[in-house]
Amino acid sequence: MIMPSNTPNEALLIPNEGVLDTISSFNEDGANYSVLDLYDDDEENDGSSLIEQREILTTRELEKAKAFTSLVMADPENFDRYGFGKKSYFISQEEYDKWWTEYSRYSERRKKKWENYLCKNKIDLHNDNPLLYPARNEELRKFVRKGIPAEWRGNAWWHFAGGQHKLDANVGVYDNLKSDCRKGAVSGKDMEAIERDLYRTFPDNIHFHKESFQIGEPAMIQSLRQVLMTFSVYNTAIGYCQSMNFLVGLLLLFMDEEKTFWMLVIITSKYLPGVYESDLEGANVDQGVLVLCIKEYLPEIWSHIESSYMNGNGSNEQVSEPKSDQQYLNRLPTLTLCTASWFMSCFVGVVPIETTLRIWDCLFYEESHFLFKVALGILKLSESEFLESKSQKLFRQYSSYPFGSGADTDSTFKKLKNKIKTQEEADMEILQVIQNFPKRLLNPNEIFEKVLMKKKMALNSITQEKIDQDRGYVAMERSRQRGSSRPKEKKAE
Amino acid sequence: MNTSVTSIKLVLLGEAAVGKSSIVLRFVSNDFAENKEPTIGAAFLTQRVTINEHTVKFEIWDTAGQERFASLAPMYYRNAQAALVVYDVTKPQSFIKARHWVKELHEQASKDIIIALVGNKIDVLQDGGERKVAKEEGEKLAEEKGLLFFETSAKTGENVNNVFLGIGEKIPLKKAEEQNNANEGESNNQRVDLNAANNGTSANSACSC
């Protein structure tokens, strides 16, 4: 579901007509609705159901409605073509508009190139939404790296991820599972967890937001529930895991329920195996792989992680020997507490939406190793920010200070120590940078052109084979260590 | 005013959707968002406050509530000096979960960890919603286990700052020697005076320790 940026375009993918109605009325009628205006309009049109509503809308309810953020009351200009709010805590509307002026031109230029490319390859544009693409080749990969046209994304992702093969091999499965759901196949635990997260999925997106005057559920919420419930029945080892709501939510903006379902199956089995299962071990394995990649490709950040281990946690104890890979893999560095969610949600909500979509283009074309490249790319870009941060500088000064050589030194040392305290303080600063930096990556080309498309950059030599190998190695190391010593961390329950 | 800073590592634990992130958002940004998105993995935030003329820096790990993320929790509470165990006063199940967390913290976390039991969403009661966990139940658990106890509303802000104030008062202040080494590099901006912003009304803290 894409709201055209300039003129309405009927050829845009319409996965869910109920939602489209909302959008078009939203678009055509313009701004300046109020909750009460809408209420009155409805009353004229459909008095019967409104008697019910009038009873609900007591004074207190109306007060609440006013306090409630009403998205419809807001200016449509505040939302992007997918219905997401443009501004965030990290990006102002002005910043967004300024960037969008440029980026929308970039997108138009890219689309023209795509059209020429497909025509050259004798591929039908299929009324501005191609169903097929040329066989995999370097040129096509470059095109995908530079972004798939927004209106084509649903079909393109489906095509590149091999969705149709999956569907053809499982004809009727989705419908059968749906009917199982109706017969009560969803476990109480999953049902409760899913219900709890429905309205917590993209609450600032107009398609997922229920206005206080609305009686029924938004169609998008119903679809979200259906896909998540169906999946929980399809794969009982996973059931429902938080973060899948964001994956499904974003897919639903681009394709119908059944396709979304199979894309979720592909993501959870092919791209991120074991990641969502009840012990999240796959997520830990991927973090171990990321740590190995940092060690190999980002030495500056690695040296920080290493000194964090050597200095102990929060104390300035004697420096011990660097630890072995095995130790890092078993006790993952603190930084991975932040980066784990990057992988689980495939960067949804981690970076601004247009950047997420560019990452997804490549994820479905190039598979999961691309997620590792993006994670390393973000760390690389944020590196300068935190390596230059104040306490980091002080920390280096302190680290290189000659220990225990006379009273003078000692007092200076004490002063320094007091300023920066511990490695832990530097760690905290790094965590904050890593957490907040990606939220400002409004312009996808910032990371794509500066890092991901630079052939010379070492991290771009990472291949899917390498990631798959590393996953095997890390999984083996972790299970070996868990087998030999049952860590306390394992929850008793 | 004393300019030394005490850092407090604090972790939030509790069932999904009880309002952990909302409590943090209220405390750190004095803000509230309806239908806040679930936290995946964890979020890290900091906030500086002034308690009894002493600056305290809270380093907060806000964790994911879903059961399967619980296996990661020890990474957060391993070195924590304080924990907020949060439940929803309208969800009995979340109170049972809170009991489990208190038990696990007592068994696995640092011996002198300060735990605050927090019953959130009391605004729902004022809006006509039904209370399912009696205040006495919370108080009783807190008394038995030696916890601080608060009932809060992240939505209205009621009593939220008091939770952190209560924790801050329980953490031993810096030793005199350390206090003398005043920290010149610390900036005072964004500091919240909890004593001034003491906005708790009806609910108050009951502490047995």
Closest approach of A242 to chain B, Cα-based (Å): 7
Of B71, B79, B181, the CB nearest to A313: B79
What's the pLDDT tens digit per position in A358-403?
A: 999 999 999 999 999 999 999 999 987 776 665 555 555 555 444 4
| Rg (alpha carbons) of chain A, rounded to whole number | 26
CB contact under 8 A, B36 and A200: yes
How would residue B207 be classed by pLDDT, with cut points 50, 70 and 90? very low
Helices in A367-463 by DSSP H: which ranges? 369-387, 390-399, 407-420, 423-436, 444-447
Counting Cβ atoms within 10 Å, is residue B1 exposed (0-12), middle (13-18) or buried (19+)? exposed
How would residue B201 be classed by pLDDT, with cut points 50, 70 and 90? very low
Q: Which of residues 17-36 of A touch B (CB under 8 A)?
A: none
For residue A205, give the nearest of A31, A385, A35, A78 by alpha carbon: A78
Fill in the DSSP letter of residue A351.
B
CB contact under 8 A, A203 and B71: no
When pLDDT is averaged across residues A345-357 and rounded to a whole number, the result is 98
CB pairs under 8 A between A and B: 106
pLDDT at B164: 97
Is B40 in the A-facing interface, judged by CB distances under 8 Å? yes
Write down the residue that tokens 């080494």 correspond to.
B181
pLDDT at A481: 85
- DSSP assignment of A176-228 equals HHHHHHHTT-S-HHHHHHHHHHHTTSSTTSTTTPPPTT--S--HHHHHHHHHH
Residue A14 φ then ψ, to 5°? -125, 90
When pLDDT is averaged across residues A144-163 and rounded to a whole number, the result is 98
Closest-CA residue of chain B to A334: B75
CB contact under 8 A, B36 and A337: no
Closest approach of A193 to chain B, Cα-based (Å): 8
pLDDT at A394: 57
Q: What is the percent of chain A with per-residue pLDDT over 70, rounded to a whole number?
A: 72
Residues of chain B neighbouring A246 (CB-CB closer than 8 A): 37, 40
Q: How far apart are CA B151 and CA B200, in angstroms?
A: 10
Q: What is the percent of chain A with per-residue pLDDT over 90, rounded to a whole number?
A: 62
Whether pTM > 0.95 for this model: the answer is: no
Structure-token pair, residue A392: 């980091």
Residues of chain B neighbouring A337 (CB-CB closer than 8 A): 41-42, 44, 61, 72, 75-76
Mean pLDDT of the residues in chain A: 81
Average the pLDDT over each of A126-135, A228-237, A389-398, B72-81 and give the range with the smallest value.
A389-398
Q: What is the percent of chain B with per-residue pLDDT over 90, rounded to a whole number?
A: 71
CB contact under 8 A, A337 and B76: yes
Greater confidence, B130 or A390?
A: B130
β-pair partners for B149: B117
CB contact under 8 A, B104 and A69: no
Write down the residue that tokens 């935030």 correspond to.
B45
Of B66, B75, B184, the CB nearest to A193: B66
Residue B148: in which H helix or E strand, if any? Answer: strand B148-151
What's the pLDDT tens digit per position in A69-103?
A: 566 657 888 999 999 999 999 999 999 999 999 99
Q: Which of residues 138-177 of B touch A (CB under 8 A)?
A: none
What's the pLDDT tens digit per position in B11-48?
A: 999 999 999 999 999 999 999 999 999 999 999 999 99
Counting Cβ atoms within 10 Å, is residue A103 exposed (0-12), middle (13-18) or buried (19+)? middle
Q: Which of residues 254-283 of A touch B (CB under 8 A)?
A: 277-280
Closest-CA residue of chain A to B66: A242
Over 90: is that where the pLDDT of B177 sits? no
Residues of chain B neighbouring A435 (CB-CB closer than 8 A): 43-44
CATH topology of domain B5-170: Rossmann fold (3.40.50)
When pLDDT is averaged across residues A259-275 and rounded to a whole number, the result is 98
Residue B127 φ then ψ, to 5°? -90, 15
Do the beta carbons of residue B44 and residue A339 sit within 8 Å?
A: no
What's the pLDDT tens digit per position in B104-114?
A: 999 999 999 99
